[in-house]
A and B are shown apart, each in its own frame.
Chain A
Amino acid sequence: MPRIVAAMSGGVDSSVAAALLAREAAVGGDEVVGVWMRTHPDRGEGWEPRRGCCSTEAADDARRVAQRIGIPFFILNVEPEFGAQVIDAFAEAYLGGTTPNPCQACNQKIKFDLLARRAVGAYGADGVATGHYARIAHRDGRWRLLRAVDEAKDQTYFLWNLDQPQLAATRFPLGEMTKPQVRQLATEMELPTAATPESQEICFVPAGDYRALLAERMAYVGESGPIVDGEGRRLGTHTGFAHYTVGQRRGLGLTASEPHYVREIRPETNEVVVGSRDDLAARGFVADARHFVAGAPPAERFEAQVRIRHRAPEVNCEVTLVGSERMVVETAEPVWAAAPGQSAVLYLGDECLGGGRIARA
């Protein structure tokens, strides 16, 4: 019988996704196998485990859901791969003066690659389902990634790197639903995770403090250096360039009449460049590592909408491909704080075309 792996985080979304599939299975759909991935280690014996989406507690929640909906449940250890491809990549991005995309990396490297391959081998499954808010459709002979019906929850920003084989083997059962509907369904189906709070923070960075992680993982403690303005005038002192993100306003310790924002990070000279809000606006940027979900770009030069941050407004743009990996994105109106390293994701109507990684200027 065809089988599908439901990736379960212990949160309400993936719980409902798995439950919907289990309901289909009961009337002849694919057999469902629940899998929770261990991404980073527990604390030692006797200590209350950390909370958060990848904690042991989350594994307990996922297991309770699997029991409730009557599917087999396995824990898959992906610590080495997650450590190297998500956590280290996250830290390295900061050390390179860029802003990392851990959720995108986890989707690309872990959920839809590692898990998808393990699903075939270990679980004899044909594909993977997740609780992402996104849709998949087949149009004009290609698989398409479409925005979720619930625009506020749409997660295509983190999924732009999916390719054709992956989309063919993936299901997003929540794509047609709104978050309130998902919560309601969770309550109706009496899922133990129905009231689980929304997780916003990065699962491996407790309380959003990534400085501790840089110290622990990369032995980066930060060397203080100058905070300068666009003309190179020293305005203050920072604790280490990697502690700052483009667009950041708080924690700069500057006393000025108008607010300053981090505009650029220069690892080579350990400088943090700040500017006014207007200084961070630009009419475009260059992106590298470009990828198109359909397997090929619509054209060498095409019009689209671009999003440069999760939930940032989309902006009309013109995209011009350059070389084999880069593209120039010219926007119809200014975009603010395009941070090197972040994803620039391209849309056309309801379709997520793909995207790239914002390059350093």
Chain B
Amino acid sequence: MAIYLDHAATTPLRPEVLEAMLPYLTEHFGNPSSLHAAGRRARQGLDEARETVAGVLGAKPREIVFTSGASENTSLAINGIAWAASGRGRHMVTTVIEHRAVLNTCAVLERHGFEVTYLPVDRYGQVDPDAVANAIGPHTTLVAIGYANNEVGTVQPIAQIGAICRERKVVLYTDATQAAASLALDVDSLRVDLFGIAAHKVEGPKGVGALFVRQGTNLIPQQQGGSQERQRRAGTENVAGAVGLGEALRLARADAERLAAENERQRGLRQRLTHRLEGIADGELTGHPEARLPNSVSWAFRGVEGGDLVAALDLEGVAASTGSACTSGSAEPSHVLAAMGVPSDLIRGSLRLSMGRTTTAAEIDRAADLVAASVERVRAAAQPAAADAAPAPAGA
């Protein structure tokens, strides 16, 4: 039986979520903008989903924009604010460890004459709120800092950063994609103005997400057309997807006690796995030891290519990652680990194991054994072989 430990990349679709979506892929096929009964029925599903998402975030339904997911959230948030506020200023603040969606969006804006400050992080991947305060200038219009890092799982002090941004009257965009399954999502106590989530990280479907846009925040849409999503995002809505997002979030978060218990359970598994991995020579935890996602363990092994380890584990039936799902064979070592000052001989040997609701202690134990064996094998093979006479074929 395969052991899936890559929930930070994506999660399986929860059966109840599929159940909730199915009617909107079959009988309730109407276009929510249509005036007739079929349209109204689809509209109802969309409106209910919006209310559910808003409820989970402590927002108003009108503050929720359905999107295609985290990268679109980021594009809409950063480009949308950058251009809407460009008359006031063209400076933005972010960090060096943000997701590529943020960094590449900022890079394009820089080519258009915007100025971007990339704040450093400490060895655990945390940004200093004082540094954010110091980086904000008279022309700063946006601060973009993710809630929890996708590669190392470190959680940022968003509420503190939010307070600073609020005081300095600068919009704060926080990508909460990795945090949505476990951390506090109340947009008011976090003091965020833009806040993005994606369904597929919380046992929902791929290709749908939501961006909270605080009332009163002006944002230039990045996709022009009809007046859907209160003119924030043109295009016929992904009704079934939105329903799936709503249901997934509801199931994950509606019961606060259950959520707390599940987080506690996953933290226990994380400890268990961390303890086991500590027994493997020449490796270390990356990211913050405590201020991290309950489900994520990220590690770096000396003298190992992370990709080799992932392949080795895959062939043994364990799904893991080097840290992000997007680096298919790319030569660049992780910009996150580099920014954290992880030594260069460790940086290539990154491994991320991320658990989910269905992960068991037995799976963790088995995975830990296989990681240990794989690291040993990969390391042994990296040594130049003794060039003795080759074995003869059977019967030769």
Contacts and interface: CB of A to CB of B under 8 A. Distances in A.
Interface of A: 3, 33, 36, 38, 41, 45, 59, 72, 74-77, 79-80, 117-118, 120-124, 138, 141, 143, 163-169, 295
Nearest to B375: A121
A167 B390 contact: yes
Contacts of A163: 387
A80 B311 contact: no
A126 to B, nearest CB: 10
Contacts of B377: 120-121, 124
B305 A122 contact: yes
B222 interface: no
A167 to B, nearest CB: 7
Contacts of B314: 72, 74
B312 A122 contact: yes
Interface stretch (B213-221, B326-334, B358-366): B326-334
B372 interface: no
* In the A-B complex, the 5 residue pairs with the closest CB atoms: A121-B381, A168-B390, A122-B308, A75-B329, A121-B378
Nearest to B390: A168
B379 A121 contact: yes
A77 B307 contact: yes
Contact of A122 (B311, B388, B391, B396): B311
B56 to A, nearest CB: 33
Contacts of B379: 121
A42 B102 CA distance: 21
Contacts of B331: 38, 41, 77, 79-80
Nearest to A138: B396
Given A33-B315, A167-B390, 4 more contacts: A59-B329, A77-B331, A122-B305, A138-B393
Nearest to B312: A122
B385 interface: yes
A165 B311 contact: no
B172 interface: no
Contacts of B382: 117, 121
Contacts of B328: 75
Contacts of B390: 143, 164-169
A117 B307 contact: no
A41 B382 CA distance: 24
B389 interface: yes
B307 A76 contact: yes
A275 B311 CA distance: 55
Contacts of B309: 122
B34 interface: no
A117 to B, nearest CB: 5
Interface in B98-124: 104
A238 B389 CA distance: 50
Q: Which of A36, A117, A163: most chain B CB closer than 10 A?
A: A117
Contact of B392 (A59, A138, A165): A138
B260 interface: no
Contacts of B312: 121-124
B380 interface: yes
B329 A122 contact: no
Given A45-B104, A122-B305, A122-B378, A74 B311 contact: yes
Contact of B330 (A3, A33, A77, A121): A77
Q: Which of B314, B328, B378, B381: most chain A CB closer than 10 A?
A: B381
Contacts of B392: 138, 141
B385 to A, nearest CB: 6
Contacts of B307: 74-77, 122
Contacts of A41: 331
B369 to A, nearest CB: 15
Contacts of A123: 311-312, 315
A224 B142 CA distance: 54
A76 B329 contact: yes
B91 to A, nearest CB: 24
Contacts of B387: 163-165
Contact of A120 (B329, B381, B396): B381
Nearest to B388: A165
B384 to A, nearest CB: 8
A75 B330 CA distance: 9
Nearest to A59: B329
Interface string B124-164: 00000000000000000000000000000000000000000
A75 B322 CA distance: 13
Contacts of B393: 138
Contacts of B305: 118, 122
A74 to B, nearest CB: 5
B315 A72 contact: yes
Interface in B287-310: 305, 307-309
A138 B392 CA distance: 7
Contacts of A36: 329
A121 B308 contact: yes
A165 B330 contact: no
Contacts of B315: 3, 33, 72, 123-124
24 contacts: A33-B315, A38-B329, A38-B331, A59-B329, A74-B307, A74-B314, A76-B329, A77-B329, A80-B331, A117-B384, A117-B385, A118-B308, A120-B377, A121-B377, A122-B305, A122-B308, A124-B312, A124-B315, A124-B316, A164-B389, A164-B390, A165-B387, A165-B390, A169-B390
A33 B308 CA distance: 13
A190 to B, nearest CB: 25
B386 to A, nearest CB: 9
